[in-house]
Structure 1
Amino acid sequence: MRRILIVNIICFVSIIAFAQTIENRIVPPDGYIRKKCDGNSFAAYLRQLPLFPEGSKVKLYNGQEKQNQSAAYSVINMEIGNLDLQQCADAVIRLRAEYLWVQKRYGEIKFNFTSGFPVEYTKWAEGKRIKVSGNKAEWYAAGGRDYSYKTFRKYLDMVFMYAGTASLAKELQTVPYTSLQPGDVFIKGGSPGHAVIVMDIAIHPTTKKKVFLLAQSYMPAQQIHILVNPSDRNLSPWYELTDADDGNLYTPEWTFAKKDLKRFK
């Protein structure tokens, strides 16, 4: 009986360790509590993303380790393919699209190529594919109806190939920094450009101060990772939301203006 009990405890501990998520591993600072959110919201989805074991290195698409490991606090356990596609804006697109796909909100999955060409997931799932020639893209019939995850991932790779910070920045709406919420994106469109996504928010019930988490991918394509806070190591990986809409946000590998904050429509 004792042996069975020990085995059960070991199994239980293993399950808990395996099921580590952003919510149950990354604890808010003392006195802060996570902002309540609807269970079907984008915020809840981001919060429940699984993490690789503590201490895991950020890997590139080719299996090599990212050179700057000091930027990462934790690594999100999500495959990124074996091509140099899922970079910074692509990671934001990936998380938003994955959430909508899980919710079966297929009609809302639509992103633009840098050329402005709109790429609706429903067209892809209904059997159409895209031919690209220079800056021109067009749909053509290629197969039958298929809403499987495998086909969805192929759709995403196509978007990653021809979209980027320039196109994504145009699709998002600018919001005040002080209204920041999970799923918002700090983005600087262009070449070079960069994007990081707000993953979670916690609030101090007395002072009403807020802190938030950020995540990114980068170049070359690499696993999405929770960022450290280079400006406040004691608060890291959390960032403090200040009262001012002006000024800068300093992340490990990019400096954004606070006015660079945008939101999915």
Structure 2
Amino acid sequence: MKITKRIYAYSLLCLLSCTAAWGQTIEKIAPPKGYVRTSSDKQTFTTYLRQLPLFPKGTKVKLYNGQEKRNQAPTFAVVDMEIGKRDLQQCADAVIRLRAEYLWAQKKYEAIRFNFTSGFPADYTNWAEGKRIQVNGNKVQWYTSNVGKDYSYKTFRNYLDVVFMYAGTASLSKELVTVSYNSLQPGDVFIQGGYPGHAVIVVDVAVNPAGKKVFLLAQSYMPAQQIHVLVNPTQPNLSPWYELTESDTGKLYTPEWTFEKKDLKRFK
């Protein structure tokens, strides 16, 4: 969905006037006055997301081919993470990437498993142990290769590219568990599965003494592009933070897609 002229104007206003303190990680994006980040243990997905490195302020989002994304208005900050040189890491893939990177860094290899759109379960341990995936039309199967056991990062990234090629919002939405909008936490995903669908990930949450929450969202998009923290197109004075409203029904407006609050899901 293309953003309206009004939302586009709000986005530009935020980019010009936003006063959030800037840093080199998501954790350094200051929450609104009166809000503090929710607590998290060092080894959690929340902490991993907060420590994602950012390019310097003003950096433009680039596509997989090195060209700049045409519409820069949705962007508050760009995550400093390579995305490869193929049109693979789009919206659902970016969510998969962040989750998988966290699990790999924690050496939770057996938890790295994503389904293809066909339903085929592509687990990382099989790949790291030397097996490879053969796709022939709708038939998908493992076969034993001669590459041998390898849990290196290079092999992990090759695995992810294969997942990106055959997975998407339609498959990921089926893997995640629907949760209440009011229970929102870092790592949750707003997702609409389809062809195309879209997905954005909650990368941080802060609360005030009254218990009200605000949150940050990040996405990739089509064509494959760098992951970026989104501005809030409807509340420029709060942007890039989004306010979690009391009602668990209604819509969530992001710069390039409109979700329903009921679209919120979580990794198992």
- With normalisation by structure 2, the TM-score equals 0.91
CA distance in 2, matches of 1:134, 1:85: 19
Residues 153-206 of structure 1 deviation map (CA, whole Å, 9 limit, x = unaligned): 00000000000000000000000000000000000001120000000000112x
Query: Structure with the greater relative contact order (CA < 8 A, sep ≥ 6): 1 or 2?
Result: 2
The separation in 2 between residues aligned to 1:135 and 1:161, in whole angstroms, is: 14
What do the CA deviations read for 1:126-152 (whole angstroms, capped 9, x no partner)? Answer: 000001011111101112100000000
Q: Name structure 1 gaps, 5 residues minimum.
A: 1-18
Amino acid across the alignment from 2:127: W
Once superposed, which parts of structure 1, at least 4 consecutive aligned residues long, lie more than 3 Å away? none
Corresponding residue number in structure 2 for 1:184:
188
Q: 1:240 and 2:261 equivalent?
A: no
Superposed, 1:66-145 pairs within 5 Å as 66-142=69-145, 143-145=147-149
Identity within the alignment, %? 74
Counterpart residue identity of residue 256, structure 1 = F
Q: Does 1:262 align with 2:262?
A: no
Structure 2, gaps ≥5 residues long: 1-22
Tell me what 1:210 maps to: 213
Match of 1:37 in 2: 40
Give the whole-Å Cα distance in 2 for the aligned partners of 1:88 and 1:176. Answer: 22
Candidates 144, 166, 170, aligned match of 1:166:
170
The correspondence for 2:64, drawn from 61, 66, 91, is 61
Tell me the SS of whatever aligns to 1:255: strand
Partner of 1:3: none
Per-residue deviation, 1:92: 0.1
Residues in 2 aligned to 1:243 and 1:145: alpha-carbon distance in whole angstroms: 50
In the alignment, which residue of structure 1 is the partner of 2:9?
Answer: none
Is residue 152 of structure 2 the alignment partner of residue 148 of structure 1?
yes
2: CA distance, partners of 1:20 / 1:176: 31
Q: How many residues align?
A: 245
Partner of 1:69, secondary structure, is coil
Normalised by the size of structure 1, how large is the TM-score? 0.92
Deviation per CA, 1:6-58, whole angstroms, max 9, x where unpaired?
xxxxxxxxxxxxx811112x100011111110110000000000000100000
Match of residue 15 from structure 1: none
Q: Distance in 1 between matches of 2:139 and 2:91?
A: 24
Distance 2:218 2:199 in 1: 9
Amino acid of the structure 1 residue aligned with 2:201: I
In structure 2, C-alpha distance between the alignment counterparts of 1:85 and 1:136, rounded to whole Å: 21
Bigger Rg, which one: 1
Considering only aligned residues, what root-mean-square deviation do their CA atoms show, in Å?
A: 0.7
Shift of 1:120: 0.5
